Amino acid sequence: MEELRSLADLLDLQAVDLQIDHLLDERQSLPELDEYRRAHREAETLTVELVSAQEELRELALSLDRNSGELTITEEKVAQEENRLYAGGLSARDSDYLRREVEMLRRKVSDMEDQVLAIMEAREKQERLAEDLADRLGTVTMGEQRLESAISDAWRKIDTEVAVKEERKATIVPLIDEDLLELYEELRTSKEGAVVGRLGEDGVCGACHLKLSAAEASQAKKQDPPRCMYCRAILVP
């Protein structure tokens, strides 16, 4: 009778273990987890792109400062040379040379102005890109935080249920024979699903749902513990 009680308790233990397995599987397969992973990857990508865009923006700002400074110096040089040219007192040769120098400097100023304008346009475009990336990153980060909060709440609820099941399990385990418990744990490690099944009056195994003949059922009951002839599950008569 004690042996049957131990087997019946084993069936109860399996029911609790399967409930715990289901909860743990639910914990790892929350739909929010995939959404969170996608959001996290997107946030990482946007962060890298934003850092790159900001670095490019800094380089453009430095380039603009440098070129603007060079333009100012060249403009001042043009003004100085023009003043010398218009002041008179130069020989025809020196005056002609200085005139060509001023024309060359004016062309240089024109080219530098174009370059400064191009850098300004590039900087404005880069600023818009950086702002867009920052906005997108902010939106994705908020979504990521929302999902993280939802996952934490779901996990907390599941963990509470698991703790209740673990308490129930702790009351069942001492009722089961140690050798039987060891076999059960070994089967659970090597097989998925039910490893203990009730043997119905019709000879059907509660684990694999195959029907044992009367002779097979009789032979199974003679084993210690009883085992299904097909799936090798522990049978509870």
Chunked mean pLDDT (size 10), the chain, 237 residues? 72 96 96 96 97 97 96 92 81 84 92 96 97 97 97 98 98 94 93 90 93 93 92 93
Write down the pLDDT at residue 3.
Answer: 53
Whether the model pTM is above 0.85: no
Q: Which domains does the chain have, with CATH numbers?
A: 29-174 (1.10.287.1490)
Write down the pLDDT at residue 2.
Answer: 46
Write down the pLDDT at residue 1.
Answer: 38
Write down the pLDDT at residue 145.
Answer: 97
How far, in Å, CA of 92 to CA of 96, rounded?
Answer: 6
